Amino acid sequence: MINRQWRLASRPQGAVNRSNFDYAETQVLASPDTGGKVLLRTEMLLCMPTIRNFISGKRSDYYPTIELGEPIMSPGVGRVVESSDSDYPVGTRLVGGSSWQDYQWVDPEQGYRVVPNDTPSVDALGILGMNALTAYFGVVEVGQPQSGETLLVSGAAGSVGSIAAQIGRIRGARVIGICGGSEKVNWLKDSCGIAEVIDYKAQDVGVALDALCPDGVDVFFDNIGGTMLRDIVQRMRRHGRIALCGQIATYDDAADNPPLDMMRIIYGAIRLQGFLVPDFADQMPQALERLSEWDRQGLLAHREDVRAGFEALPDTFASLFNGSNNGTLIARIADEESRPI
């Protein structure tokens, strides 16, 4: 069996592009090399901005580095096509660590969840996926906006941001979203019920915030970082909280990371807190239950931008950094019967 792969060819300088990846075809290993118990056929891959950090070559002991020549790691949904573990028979779908290739041997006990039969793969990566959980924990556990407080969300029309903004709305906060472009502004207003939205491509965020909330912001859910974060720190209320979710504006160039006014943070008694979903692993079942319930009740608008085709993967991924994705960006590389598309 042929296994298509996209491997890291070069480390991007600035914006990521197709030339940073090499297409290759290998034979699928007939049996696992390192402890894999099931052979997964990748169906869908979640395009995740932090992959840009993994391929940057900046060494860190807190996130993985993808080496040149290696397939690109990514969350995904795969279907078991061979199994030596009766708990995970052929046909089972698993969501968890995947990579930009058709097949891989994995141990289902290491970082995977079974996708229930009644959950579409798109939902396992979307409204019940890692990004929605990130939004949930970032709002409910980290930012903790209370009813009547102001919650500001950057990247508000994106996969994480749109769910974060709506959970804030459900909690009774006054939510202000920031995103780029009128289509996204309108979707947030009309479909997500976020009445106040700043278009950072058309407006100065600081000026707009001064007009909308002259008394400042209680909670800021930050997906973007960079100069936007710097300007918002200046507008936080005393005892404000900043949930640091992502810093996508700085992934291409760390120099886009301006210093924050630390004295403002000290005198404002502002709490900045980064977080990852695994920090809240013990609360995952409850979070998934609440997300499902809100979804069933029609309280959470969500959209998935599903792009078909393995060949297009590098270009699909690059969409995250020019804002041309509309919602959770998913690459579909096999059809429901696990045939490659």
Interacting residues with ligand NAP (CB under 6 A): 48-50, 131, 134, 155, 157-161, 179-181, 184, 223-224, 245-249, 275-277, 320-321, 323, 325
Where does residue 19 rank: exposed (0-12), middle (13-18), buried (19+ CB within 10 A)? exposed
Which CB, 36 or 76, lies closer to ligand NAP?
76
Which CB, 58 or 238, lies closer to ligand NAP?
58
> Residue 238 Cβ, how far from ligand NAP at the closest point, in Å?
26
DSSP state of 304: E
Which CB, 92 or 159, lies closer to ligand NAP?
159
> Residue 289 Cβ, how far from ligand NAP at the closest point, in Å?
20
Cα–Cα distance measured from residue 161 to residue 134, given in angstroms and rounded to the nearest whole number: 9
> Residue 49 Cβ, how far from ligand NAP at the closest point, in Å?
4
Residue 213 is encoded by which pair of tokens?
A: 């909330």
> Residue 232 Cβ, how far from ligand NAP at the closest point, in Å?
13
| Nearest by Cα to 71 from 42, 108, 37, 98 | 98
> Residue 122 Cβ, how far from ligand NAP at the closest point, in Å?
14
Which CB, 83 or 203, lies closer to ligand NAP?
203
Instruction: Map residue 149 onto helix, strand or coil.
Output: coil
| CB contact set of 216 (below 8 Å; sequence gap of 6+) | 150, 235, 236, 237, 238, 240
Instruction: Map residue 156 onto helix, strand or coil.
Output: coil
Which CB, 80 or 249, lies closer to ligand NAP?
249
| Nearest by Cα to 229 from 202, 262, 196 | 262
Instruction: Map residue 173 onto helix, strand or coil.
Output: coil
